[in-house]
Amino acid sequence: MTTTLAKFSFAPRHRRALSAALALLVLVPLMTLGNAGAANAWSCGTAPASSLDYWDPSGPQTISQNYSCGSHSGTDYARGATAWRFGAVQAGTVIAVNNTVNSCHGRYVVIAHPDGIKTAYAHLSSISVTLNQQVSKGQIIAYAGSSGIASASCPISGVHLHLSMTTNWTGWSTSTFFDPAAFLATH
* Within a domain: 38: no
* CATH number of domain containing 168: 2.70.70.10
* Within a domain: 94: yes
26 and 90, same domain (yes or no): no
| Rg of the chain in Å (alpha carbons) | 21
DSSP the chain: --EEETTEEE-HHHHHHHHHHHHHHHHHHHHHTTTTTSS---EE--PPP--S-PPPTTTTSEEEE--BTTTB-SEEEE-SSS--EEE-SS-EEEEEEE---SSTT-EEEEEE-TTS-EEEEEEEEEE---TT-EE-TT-EEEEEB--S--BTTB---SSEEEEEEESS-S-TTT-EEE-HHHHHHT-
131 and 176, same domain (yes or no): yes
* Within a domain: 37: no
pLDDT single digits (tens) 20-63: 333 333 322 322 233 333 344 567 888 888 877 777 665 656 78
104 and 146, same domain (yes or no): yes
96 and 11, same domain (yes or no): no
Number of separate domains in the chain? 2
pLDDT single digits (tens) 61-119: 678 888 888 778 899 988 888 888 889 999 999 999 999 998 899 999 999 999 999 99
pTM (two decimals): 0.74
pLDDT single digits (tens) 126-156: 999 999 999 999 999 999 999 999 888 888 8
Average pLDDT over residues 156-162: 89
26 and 108, same domain (yes or no): no
17 and 109, same domain (yes or no): no
Q: Contact 123/148 with Cβ under 8 angstroms?
A: yes
Where in the sequence is the domain holding 26, given as residue range(s)? 3-32
* Within a domain: 170: yes
22 and 61, same domain (yes or no): no
Bridge partners (DSSP) listed for residue 93: 112, 134
SS3 49: coil
78 and 134, same domain (yes or no): yes
82 and 16, same domain (yes or no): no
Amino acid at 22: L
14 and 51, same domain (yes or no): no
